[in-house]
Amino acid sequence: MSNIAVTTWSLEQTAPSDLRPAAAPEGGDLRIVRAEVPSPEFSRFLYASVGGDILWTDRLSWTYARWQEVLARPGTETWVAYEKGTPAGYVELEAQDDGVVEVVYFGLIPAFRGRRIGGHLLSYGVARAWDLAERWPDRTPTKRVWLHTCSKDGEHAMANYERRGFRLFDTKVEEEPEVATPGPWPGA
């Protein structure tokens, strides 16, 4: 098995005014809804469906109990975009200490990419990161929203983050084992 160099960029916003929202796509029936009931089955479906072709593999080996534990943490939220009732993509937020919220996962199912949904979904998710403490009264009001993306992510990811007002604060390059693209169905 060979290794590949993977560049990881960390980006942040430090004030709600940093967010430069994208307009909602025209002509469609797009809704963004919070999945309020922690569901390992649904979250794993979203994770595998969005990340299967861009090498998201870190959660594939998780047990049901591990998924449940992560999703049930206070301040963890999953926001799902639906087009005409079909899941199109999601944003997963995680409240951290001292008013920090991480956009842990964000992306679209391949069939929904290139349709101007991603900018709007990211904008909506980041706005929910900024007002997260309104839904979780025990959390400190948000002072910083951050995320990371890497050279394995979609080709438009970094540009979308920068257009939404995120600023680069760290870059790392590490060698990782090269893995076959798992897709949403192993072996497909």
> What tens digit of pLDDT does each residue of 31-65 get?
999 999 999 999 999 999 999 888 888 898 899 99
What pLDDT digit, counting tens, does each position of 11-34 carry? 999 999 999 999 999 877 899 999
CA angle 98, 150, 87 (to 5 degrees): 80
Lowest mean pLDDT among 59-68, 115-124, 177-186: 177-186
Name the maximum alpha-carbon separation found in the chain. 48
Rounded-to-5 percentages of helix, strand, coil across the chain:
30, 30, 35
Here the tokens at position 4 are 């590949």
CA 118 – CA 108 distance, rounded (Å): 7
Query: Residue range 166-174: average pLDDT?
Result: 96
What order of strands is seen across the sheet that includes strand 144-150? 30-34, 76-83, 86-95, 100-108, 144-150, 3-13, 167-177
Nearest Cα neighbor of 147 from 160, 138, 136, 135 is 160
Report the domain count for the chain: 1
In a domain, 184, yes or no: no
What pLDDT digit, counting tens, does each position of 139-153 carry? 999 999 999 999 888
107 pairs with which residues across the strands? 90
In a domain, 97, yes or no: yes
In a domain, 188, yes or no: no
Domain with 53 in it: what CATH number? 3.40.630.30
Question: For the chain, give me the number of helices (H) and strands (E)?
Answer: 5, 7
Query: Residue range 120-137: average pLDDT?
Result: 97
CA angle 130, 135, 141 (to 5 degrees): 45
Full-model pTM = 0.92
Question: What is the model's pLDDT at position 56?
Answer: 85
CA 24 – CA 37 distance, rounded (Å): 26
Provide the domain limits for residue 63. Answer: 3-177
Q: Report the amino acid identity of residue 70.
A: V
In a domain, 9, yes or no: yes
Here the tokens at position 175 are 């060698």
In a domain, 182, yes or no: no
